[in-house]
Structure 1
């Protein structure tokens, strides 16, 4: 069976038959080469190259490397040296070997093969440009890619530019032969620019590639529409990185439109690519302030995943991932009942997959259960939510026993399980789960504070709330103090997600302690002062959200100061609360009751100050 037949079968989408033909061709040529190496080894080397490419296309990368290495060895043999184009064949085989080594995760060896290939072809192209420049340009670009994989961008970028300039010159003389190659190189050149941290250059280069492919697709849509869709999708990413959001959205919309057309003809060939593009489109639409359109794109992607599974059950895990993404988007849109239904479907799929392959799917099942619990919680289905969190905890606890990387996820599920038990009024269970979450997160924070201290503070706040509810005020205050100390160490936005909960905790804890323990007014005052500081920070960032909380906590602070007989400062704090309430009241008189109460208390504190001022000192009292 010939090499040509194997290539034909591969090109018409019959990979298994192509592989069988390639293997048979190699087997025959091995036998012939054993009897006459001079005559048959060069042909055997060519057949091995073809077999390596066929194996690579079927993701049998390590076998492809072995076969390509054998081909290179054969082209170095004396039998091959007699060929007039031996150096050319050796260079091409080295280039192919470099590609397979790169796919196999062996970048240094891939670089060595690519360097040798480019060096040979540079000399050949100098001697005979018409014959060897096209192959040299490909090898040169392959070398630039290998250098970029190793982070050697200063060497990679000049080589990529040299290759693109050469291909552009070739395309001027023969557009039909070289424009598609130039477009493919520009796409890879854009990727190198992106990896080198030059998003503007990446976007500009990607636009050049897309423009070429638009022209080619107009002439030959069958051949060039699919590469055009890929180029537009990549261009959307580069434009986004370059800060050109509207252009990124336009490029991604065009990519999705082309892929929808292609899916109508080949669902399984283009469906997965369209799905990925739709997820990109959903993100672009949300960032453009069009969340409903973004959700519609996510729904379309999920429907497409279902269609793909109907024809290929092995895609169930991809469908489960799609459903989880849809769950998140529905929940973000406030459609919690729908989100819970989709999350249940994803969880059921993953249960089946985890039964057949626990090692592969148990982590995803735990994540899906946690997501389901969150959706059920937001929909007010608290018992069911707690059940889902409990199942997630059980799986993650098993995973964490053998792999400590799962400890942070276990703590995450324990935290939410504890919070759910608290909502259901089962404070003892809540305390146990939250204390375990705190213990895990303390341990993790010791080794990586930047990553884990915000989570630790969040769990400390939740635990302190429970301790306060059961009147363990000393323990609650200690946990709150630890959270406050963490807040003081954090910079930027890393405290943003737990600070509202911390502020609320401090405000509530100060109020409850003052009410339940009259002899601890000084401690209650300190806690309330910390609450005011927390709400001041929050109100600076989001006044419309937190100014009313700041006013209420300032009013509480006035009460705490009055309880420790400091009416002057009580009046100052309450006066500020009054000013905030007045500003918030507006024509709707929204906060009229709070304003009236604060004004009454302010008058009381001012009267206390006046009475103290009028009271004679000990020197002035009559004997």
Structure 2
């Protein structure tokens, strides 16, 4: 387990997989004979094995290791509730892998189990973790066209994050922005709830802009990224294209400043924002009225 982590940590993923596979096979045999003595080490070893598998995009094997890990942690949690937090962590890793492989029905079941656990677990960040799990649940629900469920889970998550942001704005406002975008704005933009989606996206941009005004160094990069998210959504919907152009112009200005200081980090997003801005500039002078009407 330690060797697997060490090898994976320095990018030697093939060797890590070989070591991890060997360790898991041994511990599976030992845990069959004496579960109480070896189940924890088996669970940890499966977690370690999943990292290099995911790093090399061997997602089917990573899912298999993740499912075995969930079973191991579930056995531990049944005997000792203190392991339930580790179970939720392992379930979340599995959920991300299932999403990456397009297995959305299984992803929904996985995140629903996480949400059920989060609702009753005692943890210093219990409410925030529950909100994040609800947000994670909205993506596979949207992929399955369960839009009413998306709305319900997203609204619950955002309500939790609003309360937390009122109690401690500095700690939770950035997470509220993320919740408005990922929990409601983007999933609803895929559905027939476009007006709701747009309202949440605009609120997120307004909040992120205030954060950027208060602390430009910390929040301007995220503002530029969020502006480009909204631009892509508006273009895909052929809606509010004048607003999309204004957002693209603002993103270009921010990325231009950032790229001047750190070209390696920000040149690529600057180029993308320039391309989208120029595309909108080329389109709008000739088709402004028609495209704006078409978006409604």
Q: TM-score range by the shorter chain?
A: 0.7 to 0.9
**Which of 173, 178, 187 is 1:375 aligned to?**
187
Largest Rg, 1 or 2? 1
SS of equivalent residue, structure 1 residue 264: helix
In 2: Cα distance, 1:226 partner to 1:342 partner: 33
Would the alpha carbon gap of residues 320 and 463 (structure 1) be closer, same or farther in structure 2, given more than 3 Å must change?
Answer: farther
Would the alpha carbon gap of residues 464 and 334 (structure 1) be closer, same or farther in structure 2, given more than 3 Å must change?
Answer: farther
Alpha carbons 1:442, 1:456 under 8 Å: kept: no
- 5+ unaligned residues in a row in structure 1: which ranges? 1-186, 472-507, 509-623
**Which of 267, 276, 283 is 1:465 aligned to?**
283
**Which of 383, 407, 423 is 2:220 aligned to?**
407
In 1: Cα distance, 2:226 partner to 2:50 partner: 36
Aligned match of 1:307:
120
In 1: Cα distance, 2:206 partner to 2:177 partner: 9
Aligned match of 1:450:
268
SS of equivalent residue, structure 2 residue 185: helix
In 2: Cα distance, 1:456 partner to 1:334 partner: 33
Would the alpha carbon gap of residues 221 and 290 (structure 1) be closer, same or farther in structure 2, given more than 3 Å must change?
Answer: same
**Which of 30, 35, 57 is 1:221 aligned to?**
35
Aligned match of 1:357:
168
Deviation digits for residues 285-309 of structure 1, max 9, x if unmatched?
445553322332233222222232x
1:395 to partner: Cα distance? 1.5
In 2: Cα distance, 1:373 partner to 1:385 partner: 4
Alpha carbons 2:99, 2:140 under 8 Å: kept: no
In 1: Cα distance, 2:21 partner to 2:59 partner: 15
Matched, 1:271 2:84: yes
1:255 to partner: Cα distance? 1.2
SS of equivalent residue, structure 1 residue 380: coil
Would the alpha carbon gap of residues 406 and 334 (structure 1) be closer, same or farther in structure 2, given more than 3 Å must change?
Answer: farther
SS of equivalent residue, structure 1 residue 409: helix
Q: CA RMSD in A?
A: 3.0
Would the alpha carbon gap of residues 428 and 288 (structure 1) be closer, same or farther in structure 2, given more than 3 Å must change?
Answer: closer
Aligned match of 1:248:
62
In 2: Cα distance, 1:455 partner to 1:433 partner: 10
1:251 to partner: Cα distance? 2.2
Matched, 1:281 2:94: yes
SS of equivalent residue, structure 2 residue 192: coil
Matched, 1:324 2:135: yes
In 1: Cα distance, 2:86 partner to 2:144 partner: 26
Aligned residues: 283
Matched, 1:206 2:6: no
**Which of 105, 108, 116 is 1:292 aligned to?**
105
Alpha carbons 1:353, 1:361 under 8 Å: kept: yes
Deviation digits for residues 218-249 of structure 1, max 9, x if unmatched?
34322321221111121122334456544433
Would the alpha carbon gap of residues 427 and 249 (structure 1) be closer, same or farther in structure 2, given more than 3 Å must change?
Answer: closer
In 2: Cα distance, 1:374 partner to 1:380 partner: 12
Aligned match of 1:440:
254
Aligned match of 1:341:
152
Would the alpha carbon gap of residues 219 and 332 (structure 1) be closer, same or farther in structure 2, given more than 3 Å must change?
Answer: same
SS of equivalent residue, structure 2 residue 79: coil
In 2: Cα distance, 1:253 partner to 1:410 partner: 37
Alpha carbons 2:251, 2:273 under 8 Å: kept: no
Aligned match of 1:537:
none
In 2: Cα distance, 1:270 partner to 1:199 partner: 28
Alpha carbons 1:370, 1:392 under 8 Å: kept: yes
Matches within 5 A, 1:100-111: none
Once structures 1 and 2 are overlaid, which stretch shifts more, 427-436 or 325-334?
427-436
In 1: Cα distance, 2:57 partner to 2:157 partner: 35
**Which of 375, 381, 388 is 2:200 aligned to?**
388
Alpha carbons 2:66, 2:93 under 8 Å: kept: yes
In 1: Cα distance, 2:252 partner to 2:34 partner: 62
1:252 to partner: Cα distance? 1.9
- 5+ unaligned residues in a row in structure 2: which ranges? 292-296
Once structures 1 and 2 are overlaid, which stretch shifts more, 272-281 or 458-467?
458-467
Deviation digits for residues 68-97 of structure 1, max 9, x if unmatched?
xxxxxxxxxxxxxxxxxxxxxxxxxxxxxx
Would the alpha carbon gap of residues 334 and 457 (structure 1) be closer, same or farther in structure 2, given more than 3 Å must change?
Answer: farther
In 1: Cα distance, 2:245 partner to 2:180 partner: 22
1:380 to partner: Cα distance? 2.7
